[in-house]
């Protein structure tokens, strides 16, 4: 059976405890719109003040802001404030626009939000494997499963998401751009071939480097060895499958590149502190975020 694609929009209207500085999650969603009637005008909405991040998975939409128009294609997001001088919609020539979105109240996080927009701009490109986008997908998954059940959990997720987005804005992209070209290519190769890689020799041969030079340079710039990075990518992909499919543990292990179920379980437990089975059956909590690696 293929992984299940979940859709929906989930709103949160908790009565927050008086005097506590909590972040407010207003809504999170995963949608695929196909009708040109999908149209939002930031000056006519009555649910603000809100902050919105919307990230395209496939297809594209249009975001217009203060006289400028942007195509929000796959891998691109827009960040905006509601109410505001903007509008976004599905253009007539497009058949669909699939996206994740999150709406936040500005209380507590507006200064960080402004810094994020200052670093990324209003319509940034964000890699689908980047920490903020993985968190956005996971927050939606938790909402879909009914596990964001109180204002404290919601606030924790919002704060972590905004902090990771801020860190990405001020440091993440810049640091990766400063890596040597060979290391950037190595990372891209691992992320694109994690399910069928053999080992360091395969990677070194592709990059036309000695495996010893690759090992030293990769560890220096990325902070872990190529094998450790490969395992982290595989486990992150396994987590997604554990949450979104009913595949067996053995099938998931094979799908992300492990030759045996027992070795997959061993690596998964080493990196997460749990077996895949206990991860799947247990109630989600914030400690799962340690699966996000720099």
Q: What is the CATH number of the domain that holds 60?
A: 2.60.120.280
SS3 state of residue 278 = helix
Domains of the chain: total: 2
Q: How far apart are the first and last CA of the chain?
A: 32
Domain identity same for 148 and 241: no
Per-residue pLDDT tens for 239-268?
888 888 889 999 999 999 998 999 999 999
Among 142, 176, 210, the domain-final residue is 176
Domain identity same for 132 and 228: no
Mean pLDDT of the 143-149 span: 91
- Evaluate if residue 221 carries a pLDDT over 50: yes
Domain identity same for 120 and 257: no
Q: Are 26 and 32 in contact (CB under 8 A)?
A: no
Domain identity same for 40 and 138: yes
Per-residue pLDDT tens for 49-65?
999 999 999 999 999 99
Percent of the chain scored above 90 by pLDDT?
A: 48
Question: What pLDDT is attached to residue 156?
Answer: 93
- Evaluate if residue 286 carries a pLDDT over 60: no
Q: Are 28 and 10 in contact (CB under 8 A)?
A: yes
Domain identity same for 71 and 209: no
Domain presence at residue 3: no
Domain identity same for 267 and 194: yes
Whole-number Cα distances in Å, 153 to 82, 142, 148, 160, 285: 24, 10, 6, 11, 8
Domain identity same for 55 and 118: yes
DSSP assignment string, the chain: -PPPPP-EEEE----PPTT-----EEEEEEEEE-STT-EEETTT-SS-SEEEEEEEEEEEEEEEETTEEEEEETTBEEEEEESSSEEEE--TT-S-EEEEEEEE--TTTHHHHHHHHHHH-SS-B--TTSHHHHHHHHHHHHHHTT---SHHHHHHHHHHHHHHHHHIIIIIHHHHHTS-HHHHHHHHHHHHHTTT---HHHHHHHHT--HHHHHHHHHHHHSS-HHHHHHHHHHHHHHHHHHH----HHHHHHHTT-S-HHHHHHHHHHHHSS-HHHHHHSPP-GGGGGG---
State how far the Cα of 239 lies from the Cα of 21, in Å rounded to an integer.
Answer: 31
Q: How distant is the alpha carbon of residue 191 from its chain centre?
A: 14
Domain identity same for 184 and 239: yes
- Give the DSSP letter of residue 169: I
Question: What pLDDT is attached to residue 198?
Answer: 72
Domain identity same for 210 and 266: yes
Domain identity same for 41 and 150: yes
Domain presence at residue 2: no
- Cβ atoms < 10 Å from Cβ of 231: 21
Structural domain for 112, as ranges: 8-176
Domain identity same for 188 and 96: no
Per-residue pLDDT tens for 4-23?
467 899 999 888 777 788 99
In this prediction, residue 278 has a pLDDT band, given cuts at 50, 70 and 90, of confident
Per-residue pLDDT tens for 148-201?
989 999 999 999 999 999 988 876 545 666 788 888 888 888 888 899 887 888
Domain identity same for 127 and 12: yes
């Amino acid at each position: 059976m293929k992984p299940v694609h979940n859709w929906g929009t989930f709103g949160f209207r908790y009565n927050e405890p008086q005097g506590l500085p909590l972040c407010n999650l207003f809504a999170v969603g995963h949608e695929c719109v196909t009708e040109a009637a999908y149209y939002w005008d930031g000056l006519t909405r009555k649910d603000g003040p809100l902050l919105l991040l919307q990230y395209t998975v496939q297809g594209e939409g249009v975001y217009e802001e203060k006289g400028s128009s942007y195509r929000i294609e796959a891998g691109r997001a827009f960040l905006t404030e509601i109410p505001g001088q903007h509008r976004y919609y599905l253009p007539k020539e497009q058949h669909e626009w699939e996206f994740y979105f999150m709406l936040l109240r500005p209380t507590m996080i507006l200064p960080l939000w402004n810094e994020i927009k200052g670093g990324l701009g209003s319509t940034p490109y964000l890699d689908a494997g980047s920490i903020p986008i993985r968190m956005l997908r996971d927050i939606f998954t938790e909402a879909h499963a009914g596990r964001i059940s109180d204002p404290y959990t919601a606030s924790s997720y919002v704060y972590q998401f905004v902090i990771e987005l801020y860190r990405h804005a001020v440091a993440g992209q810049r640091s990766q751009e400063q890596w040597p070209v060979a290391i950037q290519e190595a990372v891209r190769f691992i992320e694109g071939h994690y399910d069928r890689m053999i080992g360091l020799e395969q990677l070194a041969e592709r990059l036309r480097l000695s495996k010893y030079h690759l090992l030293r340079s990769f560890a220096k710039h990325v902070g872990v060895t190529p094998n450790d990075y490969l395992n982290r990518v595989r486990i992150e992909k396994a987590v997604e499958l554990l949450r979104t499919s009913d595949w067996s543990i053995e099938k998931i292990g094979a799908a992300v590149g492990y030759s045996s179920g027992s070795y997959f379980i061993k690596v998964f437990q080493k990196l997460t502190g749990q077996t895949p089975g206990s991860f799947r059956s247990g109630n989600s909590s914030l400690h799962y975020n340690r699966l996000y690696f720099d």
